[in-house]
Amino acid sequence: MKLIDAAVRKAKPEAKPYKLADGGGMYLEVMPNGSKYWRVKYRYGGKEKRLAFGVYPDVPLALARERGDEARRLLANDTDPGAVKQAQKAMKLERAANSFEAIAREWFTKHSPGWAASHASKIIQRFEKDVFPWLGGRPIAEITAPELLAVLRRIESRGALDTAHRAHQNCGQVFRYAVATGHAQRDPSGDLRGALPPARGGHFAAIIEPAKAGELLRAVEAFRGTFAVKCALLLAPLVFVRPGELRKAEWADIDLDAAEWRYFVTKTKTEHSVPLATQAVAILRELHPLTGHGRYAFPGHDPQRPMSDAAVNAALRRMGYDTKTEITGHGFRAMARTILHEELYVKPEVIEHQLAHRVPDTLGTAYNRTKFLKERRAMMQQWADYLDKLKAGAEVIPLRA
């Protein structure tokens, strides 16, 4: 008699393991500790064998039956399903052992003893910060030239052209090592000769005479710090939250599909919602492969702690700004508050709610995270589009609604 979901779900453990048959050799084995295992009994080569299909409820009844049917199809073709499963397991282990990161670390281990400690440290940090987050898990034999170029251009985009060239060189060394050791057939880095501009020493891009905000945005775009700090700088004017709220942002609070970031504002003791413009979502999606495995979007040197509260201001100083007289991390809030009202004619109460300020409510209703949410969502996209025009150096002439 076939099993039903209710019988599987309600099966209780007993003092000894027992079986619930589903037909065709398949059964559920219920263990004394309450674990439930799907198995199938079959004969191959004159021997009785057993094959495990997984643990209930991770593997539901319907999926277990599909796996049982596949095992029977293999037997009908004179193939041992247990041997097939072992081969698949071995293949997965081999793919993991042949990942780009595994081969790169093997190459590094063999060659680094002959290098100066400072040189070795720079190379492994370059891999860990700029290459492994995007290519580390890929089987090295399957990586293509366009995939590698995308990684190099990401480095180039932050103004680190020399680092991009060095990463290209190091990746080429790893690929050639993989070819020599039989882990890959060819070196795709050779296809990228000439794909990057020649390294001429770092400098900021030339800037036309823009508005002060446009100058700042272009300076941020050309910033040469770590990728996470640059993302924080790019995001700061788009969301204009308090600096501490930005650096402590947690991935669990960010819904990229819904384009929304929700968190608790300790200063006002309220829940707050930040609608994310498409530009902000794009920045966070690019950052996610680097820091998305942890708690914080912008972790510090210790990944269990957020970025230092001095990181953004230190970056602004590196860009040539005086954080005492020109701009600080907190200054992005004042910039948004002023320009949104005076140039884009957004209602002050809408801006104030987005700034997570306590706003007097003439109707007597409590401040809440959904107040003016529709208007704020439209405002945040309008603001991001406006910043793009400023950054491009366009003369922006706002029109009153």
Instruction: Give the model confidence (pLDDT) of 312-344 as tens digits.
Output: 888 888 887 767 767 788 888 888 888 888 888
Task: Grade residue 44 by pLDDT with cuts at 50, 70 and 90.
Answer: confident
Domains in the chain, please, with CATH? 5-94 (3.30.160.390), 100-192 (1.10.150.130), 215-392 (1.10.443.10)
Over 60: is that where the pLDDT of 96 sits? no
* Amino acid identity at 400: R
Would you call 357 a catalytic residue per the annotation? yes
Please name the helix (run of DSSP H) or strand (run of DSSP E) that holds residue 211, with its range, or none. Answer: none
Note the pLDDT tens digit of each residue in 262-274: 998 877 778 899 9
Which residue in 296, 292, 312 sits closest to 304, CA to CA? 296
Write out pLDDT tens, residues 203-229.
322 222 335 788 889 889 988 889 999
Given 129, 176, 357, 369, which residue is catalytic?
357
Whether 330 is catalytic is: yes
Each residue of 225-242: pLDDT tens digit? Answer: 899 999 999 999 999 999
| Structure tokens given for 312 | 């953004």
267, 293, 305, 358: the active-site residue: 267
Active site residue 295: no
Nearest to 212 by CA among 338, 315, 311: 338
Q: Is 242 considered catalytic here?
A: yes
Altogether, the residues listed in the chain come to a count of 401
* For the chain, counts of helices (H) and of strands (E): 16, 7
Answer yes or no: 367 catalytic: yes
Contact partners, residue 215, CB within 8 Å, separation at least 6:
207
For the CA atoms of 175, 176, 179, 180, the dihedral, rounded to the nearest 10 degrees, stands at -140
Q: Of the listed 36, 105, 126, 333, which one is catalytic?
A: 333
- Sheet order of strands, 260-265 included: 254-255, 260-265, 270-275
Catalytic residue among 72, 85, 367, 369: 367
Angstrom distances, CA of residue 300 to CA of 15, 49, 86, 311: 51, 52, 42, 9
Catalytic residue, chosen from 39, 138, 330, 369, is: 330
Contact 36, 55 (CB under 8 A): yes
Our CA angle for 297, 282, 205, nearest 5°, is 100
Amino acid at 350: V
Q: Which of 242, 288, 341, 347 is catalytic?
A: 242
